[in-house]
């Protein structure tokens, strides 16, 4: 199952980065989501660095491990850049590098969390790599993957979140649908350098609705109006059943309550299978980056952006 990413800019980071991102259109000027990368660029993660946006995506048939593109604003134009992760860790084999997440560190460096095939377990697992610049090249670190629960299907779709007190966390999904078990979105505290864990994992949310197709994935966590808002994707990633939902909680570890209706699906956006989302905080409003299916055979998923609006802690893209 392809991952989604995701990935969140942090509550604290949003304040620091807000002035660097162009403003979102007003509600009166709302427009349909814009296709900004019209070639295969699935599971986009977007970070802001020195006023520039950097996007990272799942590998594609074009080659390389981590697709990368840059732009001055969410609406682009986006320029393709070199493979951000030319070499994988020794534990991984090439060809299945999914849903990268890049997070800026307090010392000015960047950590990438990438999903790849673990040669020992033959499951998808999450590893780490570091770089002094957002464009890389990133260098793998560690003798093995950071997280790899092989008996639970492995782990995919890493994303980061930093709480108001500065504590960093990693969210990820066990790839349970690969082995016929529940798919949980987990939260686990990171060490200050982002390269190892400082606490046990906590279950946040799992699949429990028919329309989810037996899985949820691609977590993105933000904090708005005192609540924690967890975006996720569900359904089959390769067709119109894929959608983006969200759940809210008054505390970081939950309990999270899913919304009654999806944030985005094929019917309410006109985009086939919108998912793999990431939130880009802006000066006067947030943006949402996500992918949509441009072709099912061969599978091509392009990158879209749209303003993300809030009514308290309730998001919308209308």
Known catalytic residues? 43, 217
103-125 pLDDT, tens digit each = 999 999 999 999 999 999 999 99
Establish if 187 belongs to a structural domain.
yes
Rounded mean pLDDT of the chain? 91
pTM of structure? 0.90
137 or 3: whose pLDDT is higher? 137
Does 239 score more than 90 pLDDT? Answer: yes
8-28 pLDDT, tens digit each = 333 333 333 333 444 444 333
Q: Provide, rounded to the nearest whole percent, the portion of the chain with pLDDT above 70.
A: 90
Domain total of the chain: 1
Establish if 5 belongs to a structural domain.
no
Mean pLDDT across the stretch 155-164? 98
237 or 32: whose pLDDT is higher? 237
**Range of the structural domain that residue 208 is part of:** 11-316
pLDDT (0 to 100) of residue 31: 67
Establish if 233 belongs to a structural domain.
yes
Establish if 1 belongs to a structural domain.
no
The DSSP code sequence of the chain is: -------B--HHHHHHHGGGSPPPPPGGG----EEEE-SS--S-EEEEETTEEEEEE---TT-SSSEEEEESSTT---EEE--S-SS--TTEEEEEEEEEEEEE-TTS-EEEEEEEEETTT-SEEEEEEEESSTT---EEESSS-SB--GGGTBEEEEEEEE-TTS-EEEEEEE-GGGTTS--EEEEEEBPTTSSSBSS--EEEEE--SGGGTT-EEEEEEEEETTEEEEEEEES-TTSTT-EEEEEEESSTT---EE-SS-SB-HHHHSSSS-EEEEEE--SSSEEEEEEEEEEETTEEEEEEEEEEEEETTEEE--
pLDDT (0 to 100) of residue 256: 98
Does 81 score more than 50 pLDDT? Answer: yes
Mean pLDDT across the stretch 210-235? 98
Establish if 293 belongs to a structural domain.
yes
Establish if 148 belongs to a structural domain.
yes
Establish if 6 belongs to a structural domain.
no
17-67 pLDDT, tens digit each = 333 444 444 333 456 899 999 999 999 999 999 889 999 999 987 779 999
Mean pLDDT across the stretch 244-262? 98
CATH number at residue 57: 2.115.10.20
Does 164 score more than 70 pLDDT? Answer: yes
pLDDT (0 to 100) of residue 305: 98
């Amino acid at each position: 199952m392809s991952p989604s990413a995701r990935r969140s800019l942090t509550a604290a980071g949003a304040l620091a980065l807000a002035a660097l991102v162009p403003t979102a259109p007003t509600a009166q000027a709302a427009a349909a989501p814009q296709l900004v990368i019209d070639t295969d660029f699935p599971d986009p993660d977007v970070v802001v660095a020195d006023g520039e946006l950097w996007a990272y995506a799942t590998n594609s048939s074009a080659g390389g491990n981590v697709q990368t593109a840059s732009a001055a604003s969410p609406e682009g134009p986006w320029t393709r850049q070199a493979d951000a992760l030319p070499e994988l860790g020794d534990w991984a084999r090439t060809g299945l590098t999914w849903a990268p997440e890049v997070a800026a560190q307090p010392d000015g460096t960047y950590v990438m969390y990438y999903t790849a095939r673990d040669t020992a377990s033959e499951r998808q697992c999450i590893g780490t790599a570091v770089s002094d610049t957002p464009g890389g090249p990133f260098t793998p670190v560690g003798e093995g993957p950071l997280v790899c629960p092989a008996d639970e299907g492995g782990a995919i779709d890493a994303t980061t979140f930093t709480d108001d007190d500065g504590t960093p966390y990693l969210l990820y999904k066990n790839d349970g649908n690969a082995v016929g078990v529940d798919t949980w979105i987990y939260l686990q505290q990171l060490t200050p350098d982002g390269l190892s864990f400082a606490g046990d994992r906590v279950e946040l949310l799992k699949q429990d609705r028919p329309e989810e197709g037996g899985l949820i994935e691609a977590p993105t966590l933000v904090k708005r109006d005192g609540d924690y808002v967890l975006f996720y994707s569900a359904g089959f990633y390769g067709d119109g059943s894929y959608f983006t939902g969200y759940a809210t909680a008054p505390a970081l570890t939950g309990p999270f309550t899913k919304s009654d209706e999806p944030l985005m699906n094929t019917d309410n956006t006109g985009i086939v299978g919108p998912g793999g989302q990431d939130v880009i905080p802006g000066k006067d409003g947030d943006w949402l980056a996500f992918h949509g299916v441009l072709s099912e055979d061969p599978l091509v998923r392009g990158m879209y952006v749209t303003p993300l609006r809030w009514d308290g802690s309730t998001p919308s893209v209308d």
